[in-house]
Amino acid sequence: MLDIKKIREEKKWVEESLRKKMGPKADLGLEKIIELDDRRKIIIPELENLKAEKNKLSKAKPDAKTIDNIKKNNINLKKLEDNLKKIEEELKEKLSALPNIVADDVLAGGKENNKVSYTFKEKVKYDFNPKNHIDLAESLDIIDYKRAAKMSGSGFWIYKGEGALLEWALLNYFISFHIKNNYTFLIPPFLLNSASAYASGHLPKFGEDLFWLQDNKLCLNATAEMMLGNYHRDEILTEESLPLKYIAYSACFRREAGSYRQEERGMIRGHQFNKIEMFQYCHPEKSWDVFIEMKNQAQELLEGLDLHFQVSDLAAGDCSAAMAKTVDLEVYIPSMKTYKEVSSVSNALDYQARRGNIRYKGVDGKKYFPHTLNASGMATSRLIPAILEQNQQSDGSIIIPKVLQKFMPNNLSIIKKK
């Protein structure tokens, strides 16, 4: 949620920043927000006066005139309280609908304005006819798509045998890497309530993208970021405790309605996948340093797998609503001749902290909102296809990345046909 004070005092800049993300013709509604805030500010002192009058009347002699004044006071007080509640609810609704501002160096527009800022290794060159990851996985009997579809429908898969071990090796590699960088490891619930989905920025705008239970009180998490961003909801931290660094494992669940294309079959886009998420709560003055730190960590993690990938700086319209800046790490999938995101590194500034009422007490005794940052550290469902395709051999076997071999049984280095 944006700071109403910033909207009032820096309205032109806020408008320009939001239009980078929402487009030049979007109805921002900033004037209405300021109008509602003005009305709220008028009512609050009137309420305080009525409350003071009520307190005074309660101490007066209870004669007929006093009793009549008390009744009138109660009527006026209830009317003003109801009016204030209505205004505050409308103000919150309009503020909640606004996305975050974007950093000054983020370009306007959508995907067409994303810029590649770094590339690791060259594209793989084969001296044989390469297979796609689906054919490789099925020939090696390490991913079972057909039985997963039978049990759950399309968009699901089963890791099997060495495929399951490879998946778990990836997760262990990620966790051990982050622990060395002083992150605290959490395994949170996979279900969360609507207050958590609101704080993370998924509600109200993106509620249909989530899997909800029948009573709509709990939803399956779309990313561990949702839980980590709520870990300190409604808490007051200390300035000395910052930064707070967490990683979490979770299975992630997404509807992905209407997103499937023929070339995205298999594991490229599914309803469930595994991920390790990085998350930091930090001092506002340090958040851009933390952003670079987390980007470098995600990049180092992916470089360790020795896969060809690129880093893209996202344009405003391609950043999620809650984020002020995002860079994507995109691994190359040879059979698709394209790159797919495996990690997003984002700075939400104080947007999520405001929605979650997360503050810290400064050394000056005042309370401030920390900045929150997150990064996939990382998702596995597109790394497995990249490993299979980029590391395939002419006989259909797969070389396991060296950093993963110590997490495989007997330091397994190659997956072969049985």
- Please return the burial class of 263, using the count of CB atoms within 10 Å of its CB with bins 0-12, 13-18 and 19+: middle
- pLDDT greater at residue 200 or residue 248: 248
Classify domain 111-415 by CATH number.
3.30.930.10
- Please return the burial class of 418, using the count of CB atoms within 10 Å of its CB with bins 0-12, 13-18 and 19+: exposed
Q: Is 174 helix (H, G, I), strand (E, B) or coil?
A: helix
| Six-digit token string for 113 | 């304005």
CA gap 337, 285 in Å, rounded: 41
Across 291-302, average pLDDT: 98
Contact status, residue 140 vs residue 396, Cβ threshold 8 Å: yes
Q: May I ask the CATH class of domain 4-97?
A: mainly alpha
Neighbour tally for 211: CB within 10 Å: 15
Across 87-100, average pLDDT: 95
Report the percentage of the chain scoring pLDDT > 70: 98
Contact status, residue 382 vs residue 140, Cβ threshold 8 Å: no
Neighbour tally for 168: CB within 10 Å: 16
Indicate the domain borders of the chain. 4-97, 111-415
**What one-character DSSP code corresponds to residue 392?**
B
- Separation of CA 319 from chain center: 10
Across 245-249, average pLDDT: 98
The predicted-structure confidence for 113-155, as pLDDT tens digits, reads as follows 999 999 999 999 999 999 999 999 999 999 999 999 999 999 9
Asked if residue 259 has pLDDT above 70, the reply is no
Q: Is 56 helix (H, G, I), strand (E, B) or coil?
A: helix
Asked if residue 264 has pLDDT above 80, the reply is no
Across 55-77, average pLDDT: 92
CA gap 366, 93 in Å, rounded: 27
CA gap 260, 336 in Å, rounded: 14
Asked if residue 207 has pLDDT above 90, the reply is no
| Six-digit token string for 248 | 């979490």
pLDDT band of residue 261 (cuts 50, 70, 90) is low
pLDDT band of residue 324 (cuts 50, 70, 90) is very high
Element (H, E) at 175: helix 162-180
Helix residue ranges per DSSP H, 60-107:
64-97
Asked if residue 211 has pLDDT above 90, the reply is yes
Q: Looking at the DSSP assignment, which residues form a beta bridge with residue 278?
A: 247, 375
Across 316-335, average pLDDT: 97
